[in-house]
Amino acid sequence: MIEIEFSALARLCLNRRIPTLEKLEHEVMAIIHERHEKRLKIHWQFTVDTARGKLNSHYRKVNPHNSKYLTT
C-alpha cells in the first residue's frame, strides 16, 4: 500500500522541482495531513483469494517454498 501513497505524492507534488528540503517536507506533510483528514481508503477490486489464485505461479517462481502457503 505504500506504493499507492508514493504514487499520490508523486502526482500531487513530486512532479515538479521543489527548491528546498524544508519546502519539500512542508508540501509532503500537508498532503499526508489532507489525505488523513479525508480518511481516504483503498477500494480493492479483487479478493485475497482471487489475487492468490492469479499470482500463485509467480509466487512459486520466486520461491518454490511459497507453494505450501498458497491454495490453488
The pLDDT value recorded for residue 1 is 65
28-69 tens-digit pLDDT: 899 889 888 998 777 778 888 887 777 777 766 667 666 665
pTM of the model: 0.51
The pLDDT value recorded for residue 22 is 94
Alpha carbon 8 to chain centroid, angstroms: 9
Domain boundaries, given as residue ranges, for the chain: 2-38, 46-72
Q: Is 59 exposed, middle or buried (0-12, 13-18, 19+ CB in 10 A)?
A: middle
Identify the residue with better confidence: 57 or 11. 11
Contact between 33 and 27 under an 8 Å Cβ cutoff? The reply is: no
